[in-house]
């Protein structure tokens, strides 16, 4: 599924409802005829168990906060949370090594195939909304807004070897785009194991390659890949440190990390326009929620369906994630709450134990 489709934030539920209205299980949950699994009533502390949650470093702050509060109320349950990246988490999840994994994108076809090969059925739950935020040093006042075409010229595979902003001018001159100052350029971002890497490439670089930003892919060939010669890390804080230690850097991280770094004076968030000369929009909770910020995307949690049915500790924790108290962690971590209709759909999918991907198309 192309991630550009998820930018229409409020449209995701309608298609699901149309397709699933005839499902008697879903209808029963929506009508209240099936007893809820307890999402409004956190566990009473009488359950024992332990497990690991893996996956996205972007989603990590949300789930870490939820696990800490949940553990206080349920001392018999031990939950460890790690954030090696969406891809690494998917490998563990689809191998049956962890019962819950987080992702800052939908699972890829090869990950779905791995789950199927290992007999891992899953419940796919949308968690919140993020805006991939492009950042630079607070000391770099040479740029305020970048278009998708600008970003292509700076960080696509066509930019391999560019060690100054001005080096991108040869590309932008082809389409009459931005002319950059001759300043040193260091690029920092997540590595290939990260869902943020995948999402950035699909939303930004592939949009340019497909001609969705005003350029003509029939007039010249465009790549769909990110340059490999940049400083990559699965740890967003390491990316932030690199940005803060450089004079005129460029990087991208999840909104929560960028906002925290901006407020601490460690980074500066840049406005983005999809097309050259288009409206420049900065990342805020409001612009991410209404998808006017061009690099918005949904966040997900995947739950092993067998574990949900057989492990009371796993089920109780997911119940807590979807409780009012648990949901507060999304905004507290710096991300954006789902629209009410999407949250209702997430609750329905979990209670009905609907398995497989595609529930949010």
Please report which helix (H) or strand (E) contains residue 44, including its range: none
d(CA 90, CA 112): 9
- Beta-carbon contacts of 356 under 8 Å, excluding residues fewer than 6 positions away, are 121, 122, 124
Exposure letters 236-260 (e unless 16+ CB within 10 A, then b): beebbbbbbebebbbbbbbbbbbbb
According to CATH, the topology of domain 3-128+299-352 is: D-Maltodextrin-Binding Protein; domain 2 (3.40.190)
Percent helix, strand, coil in the chain, to 5, is 45, 15, 40
Helices 12-20 and 340-352 meet at what angle, rounded to 10? 40
pTM (predicted TM-score): 0.83
The full set of domain ranges for the chain reads 3-128+299-352, 133-294
156, 223 contact by CB (below 8 A): yes
Q: Identify the segments of the chain with pLDDT beneath 70.
A: 1-45
N-to-C CA span, the chain: 8
pLDDT of residue 44: 53
pLDDT digits (tens, 9 = 90+) for 99-116: 999 999 999 999 999 999
What would the two tokens of residue 28 be? Answer: 């029963």
Sheet order of strands, 296-304 included: 77-81, 49-55, 100-103, 296-304, 122-131
Q: Which pairs count as long-range contacts for 260-265, CB under 8 Å and 24+ apart, including other chains?
A: 260/334, 261/135, 262/135, 265/138
DSSP 117-182: HTT--EEEEEEEEEE-EEEE-TT--S-SEEEHHHHHHHHBGGGTT--BGGGGHHHHGGGT-----S
Fold of 133-294: D-Maltodextrin-Binding Protein; domain 2 (3.40.190)
Tell me the two tokens of residue 354. Answer: 């609907």
Distance of CA 288 to the CA centre of its chain: 12
Residue 360 pLDDT = 83
The string of pLDDT tens digits covering residues 237-279 is 999 999 999 999 999 999 999 999 999 999 999 999 999 999 9
- Side-chain-side CA neighbours of 191 within 13 Å: the count stands at 12
DSSP structure class, residue 5: G
């Amino acid at each position: 599924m192309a991630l550009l489709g998820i930018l229409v934030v409020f449209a995701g539920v309608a298609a699901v409802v149309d397709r699933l209205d005839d499902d008697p299980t879903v209808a029963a949950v929506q009508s209240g005829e099936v007893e809820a699994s307890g999402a409004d009533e956190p566990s009473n502390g009488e359950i024992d168990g332990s497990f690991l949650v893996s996956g996205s470093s972007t989603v990590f702050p949300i789930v870490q906060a939820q696990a800490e509060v949940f553990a206080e109320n349920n001392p018999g349950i031990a939950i460890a949370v790690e954030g090696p990246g969406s891809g690494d988490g998917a490998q563990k999840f689809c191998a049956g090594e962890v019962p819950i994994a987080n992702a800052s994108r939908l699972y890829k076809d090869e990950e779905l195939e791995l789950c199927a090969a290992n007999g891992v059925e899953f419940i796919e739950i949308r968690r919140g909304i993020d805006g991939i935020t492009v950042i630079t040093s607070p000391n770099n006042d040479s740029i305020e807004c970048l278009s998708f075409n600008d970003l292509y010229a700076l960080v696509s595979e066509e930019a391999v070897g560019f060690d100054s902003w001005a080096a991108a001018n040869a590309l932008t001159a082809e389409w009459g785009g931005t002319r950059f100052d001759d300043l040193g350029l260091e690029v920092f971002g997540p590595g290939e194991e990260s869902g943020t890497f995948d999402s950035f490439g699909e939303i930004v670089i592939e949009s340019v390659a497909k001609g969705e930003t005003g350029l003509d892919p029939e007039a010249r060939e465009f790549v769909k890949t990110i340059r490999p010669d940049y400083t990559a890390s699965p740890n967003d804080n390491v990316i932030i440190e690199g940005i803060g230690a450089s004079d005129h850097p460029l990087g991208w991280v999840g909104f929560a990390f960028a906002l925290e770094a901006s407020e601490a004076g460690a980074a500066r968030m840049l406005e983005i326009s999809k097309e050259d000369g288009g409206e420049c929009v900065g990342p805020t909770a409001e612009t991410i929620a209404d998808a006017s910020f061009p690099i918005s995307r949904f966040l997900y949690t995947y739950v092993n369906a067998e574990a949900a049915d057989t492990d009371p500790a796993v089920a109780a924790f997911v119940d807590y994630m979807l409780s009012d108290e648990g949901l507060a962690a999304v905004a507290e971590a710096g991300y954006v709450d789902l629209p009410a209709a999407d949250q209702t759909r997430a609750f329905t999918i979990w209670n009905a134990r609907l398995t497989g991907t595609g529930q949010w198309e």
